[in-house]
Amino acid sequence: MAMEFKTKATMQQKKKEAQDTQPNLRIGENLRNEEWEIESTENQTSENRREPQEQNKEDDEVPITVHFDHGNSKQELLEVLEMGFDSLMVDGSHLPFKDNVSYTKYISSLAHSKKMLVEAELGRLSGTEDDLTVEDYETKLTDINQAYEFIDTTAIDALAVCMGNVHGKYPPSGPNLRLDLLKDLYGLCSKKGVHVVLHGASGLSKEIIEECIKLGVRKFNVNTEVRKAYMDALSSPNKKDLIYVMTSAKEAMKAVIAEKMCLFGSAGKAC
């Protein structure tokens, strides 16, 4: 789903357009470093540069990144490469390992030539996300030896790991995460300079999230809870008018996102 962020005036219009139309965007920790800064005032000409006092407060820079999530078709990702995203996810987790490697390597090389960050998934999450459904809770965990080869061969920047996390809702018994595996994967990723990503963060307790952060996770994907807030707002019996309903649904999503940003420790980093 598209998240509405307060974008800065210097962010290219094409990013804004892509953000408004893409159904797959998720919130996560900003993975950019200085190398990938979108635009600095040094690059502006005297004609287009505005003095600070002229800038509207609405135009203040906010260090966000616009990420394309779960690109599981080559054609789709080739189109995404032209849209001006800051980063993308190559999702070849439905493929046999060798095919996932070659698919990810191919897109990774093209994305890096455009200075985009690349996330990829190894292993297979169970559950439902968007239109993607795999058998419930038959999680295929990330294999540490495959991860070594995968990272080396594809040169990715971030690895989405599978260690019992699921897309969608966790069962009533709660999540059963293999934190020992996460620790091992982080050990490998940190040596290789690769960020660890956790999909399926909806429904994880504060304690588990904090443990995951301690064990190296630097980007969480949250979708189910945000969608639920939207749908709950729409189904409120007191809200009949379309404009009011749409506004309140967006506000409901914002509240969840704000809560998650605080939980993940990414709140208050914009200045």
Minimum CB–partner distance for residue 221 and Zn ion (Å): 5
Q: Rounded to an integer, what distance in angstroms lies between the CA atom of residue 249 and that of residue 226?
A: 10
Q: Which of residues 221-240 bind Zn ion (CB under 5 A)?
A: 221
Per-residue binding letters, 144-183, with Zn ion (x by CB under 5 A): ----------------------------------------
Q: Residue 264 corresponds to which tokens in the numbers above?
A: 């993940």
Extended beta strands in 74-203, E state: 87-90, 117-121, 126-129, 132-134, 158-160, 166-167, 195-198
Does 69 participate in catalysis according to the annotation? Answer: yes
The residue range among 3-11, 38-46, 217-225, 236-244 that interacts with Zn ion, by the rule CB under 5 A, is: 217-225
The nearer residue to Zn ion, 137 or 244, going by C-beta atoms, is 137
Which span sits near Zn ion by CB under 5 A: 30-38, 97-105, 135-143, 197-205?
197-205
Given the rule CB under 5 A, which of 43-51, 75-83, 206-214, 218-226 is the region that contacts Zn ion? 218-226
Q: Which is nearer to Zn ion, 65 or 221 (CB)?
A: 221
Within the chain, what is the greatest distance between any pair of CA atoms?
61
Q: Which two tokens stand for residue 91?
A: 């999702």
**E strand spans, 141-231:** 158-160, 166-167, 195-198, 217-220
Site residue total, Zn ion (CB under 5 A)? 2
Q: Is 42 helix (H, G, I), strand (E, B) or coil?
A: helix
Q: Which candidate in 69, 86, 91, 157 is catalytic? A: 69
- Considering only residues 199, 218, 219, 260, which one is a binding residue for Zn ion as defined by CB under 5 A? 199
- Closer residue to Zn ion, CB minimum distance, 105 or 199: 199
- Angle at Cα 195 formed by Cα 193 and Cα 197, nearest 5°? 160
Residue placing its CB nearer to Zn ion in the complex, 11 or 147: 147
Give the type of residue at 234: L
Which H or E run contains 71?
strand 67-71
Helix 144-154 vs helix 97-113: crossing angle, to nearest 10: 30
Q: Which residues are catalytic?
A: 69
Q: Which residues bind Zn ion (CB under 5 A)?
A: 199, 221
